[in-house]
Structure 1
Amino acid sequence: MGKLKLGAIADDKPAKLTLELPASVHQDLVAYAEILARETGQPIKDPARLIAPMLARFMATDRGFLRARRARQLARRGDG
């Protein structure tokens, strides 16, 4: 089996959000949590805790987003 994109989950102070997931996405999230727990040896009591690191990983590897964010930051510096 290949390595998962996520590693152990950091214990960080969360911001509270409420969202709805399609049932199939929730089932996949639960399965991912089970596989990650086996791989890392760290039990995951609440699969919802995976959502933030998954989003962070997605944004950190989205080249289009990174380019747009850099351009936005440069534009803001020019406004000051």
Structure 2
Amino acid sequence: MSKLKLGPIVDEKPVKTTVELPATLHRDLVAYADALARETGQPITEPTKLIVPMLERFIATDRGFAKARRSHQSASPEA
């Protein structure tokens, strides 16, 4: 099996939000949670808990976003 992009899920104090997902995406999250549980040995009871680490990973690896963030920070006056 190939290495998944996500590792074990960190349990932190959450901020409550509501997100509406298409049924196909929810099925994919359930399948990904199953694969991740097999790979890490850590059962995932709530597949929606994958959303945060997936978004974090996406943002961390998005070069365009990193460049825009650096550009914005360098253009902002320092306090």
TM-score greater than 0.5 by the shorter chain: yes
Identity over aligned residues, as a percent? 65
Q: Which amino acid aligns with 1:64?
A: G
1:9 maps to which residue? 9
Taking structure 2 as the reference length, the TM-score comes to 0.94
RMSD: 1.0
1:47 maps to which residue? 47
5+ residue gaps in structure 1? Answer: none
Shift in Å, 1:79 = 5.2
5+ residue gaps in structure 2? Answer: none
Count, aligned residues:
79
Take 2:48 and 2:74, find their aligned partners in 1: how far apart are those partners? 34
Runs of 4+ in 1 over 6 A off after TM superposition: none
Taking structure 1 as the reference length, the TM-score comes to 0.93
